[in-house]
Amino acid sequence: MSLFTLKSKTHAISMLEDDHKLVKDLFEQFEKTENHGRKLKLVEKAVEELKIHATIEEEIFYPAVRQTMDDPEGLMEEADEEHHVAKVLIAELDLMKGKEKNWEAKFIVLAENIRHHIKEEEHEMFPKAEKTPIDFEALGQRMLARKKQLQAKGVPPDAEAKMVKKVGLRGDSPAMHAQKKIVVPLKQD
């Protein structure tokens, strides 16, 4: 949030920025701890927060911005694709138990993607959106109501969750298979 504009807690952009702060803090806590049980809890919490956050952005905030903001750079399409990639990783993490070899790597890659996405929203999308005539207080109230509903009832499975469920987890990546088969040329002394 800018130091020069004071927004209330229910201003749509402040709400999103508060969520961003929360998930970034969870990522940091994950990176700092060695305790596996703690890591499991942090992943569960981050995934839940991200699902709710993405849903309110996609259902309410993004459509409002799309209707009112000129976007010749395609910021909104980029954001959609970033959500898509994050939701695939989230759906895979949802199917995992935390014992898989690539579990930690998957969460770290999700965190990297989200940090990048947050930067683009906060530095490019939100400043442009603030110039639109949207009533962000009224929009924030709507987002808050939906957030409470999602917190109470859970987030319905999205297209990515259905897709990942159908395909299943790919624990053994093609690169890992190739590594087993390849005859490695070694330097001769």
Residues engaged in binding Fe ion (CB under 5 A): 16, 57, 121
Q: Closest CB to Fe ion among 23 and 161? A: 23
Choose among 151, 122, 95: nearest CA to 17: 122
The answer to whether 42 touches 29, Cβ cutoff 8 Å, is yes
At CA 116, angle to CA 27 and CA 171, rounded to 5?
65
Match 């990546």 to its residue by tokens: 173
What minimum distance in Å lies between the beta carbon of 118 and Fe ion?
A: 6
Q: Give, to the nearest 10 degrees, the angle between helix 103-120 and helix 12-32.
A: 150
What minimum distance in Å lies between the beta carbon of 8 and Fe ion?
A: 18
The answer to whether 75 touches 119, Cβ cutoff 8 Å, is no
Q: Closest CB to Fe ion among 50 and 164? A: 50
Q: Closest CB to Fe ion among 21 and 101? A: 21
Choose among 92, 7, 10: nearest CA to 56: 10
| Cα 75 to Cα 189: distance, rounded to the nearest angstrom | 54
Task: State the DSSP code for 133.
Answer: -
Q: Closest CB to Fe ion among 16 and 64? A: 16
What minimum distance in Å lies between the beta carbon of 125 and Fe ion?
A: 8
What minimum distance in Å lies between the beta carbon of 83 and Fe ion?
A: 6
What minimum distance in Å lies between the beta carbon of 74 and Fe ion?
A: 15
Q: Closest CB to Fe ion among 100 and 124? A: 124
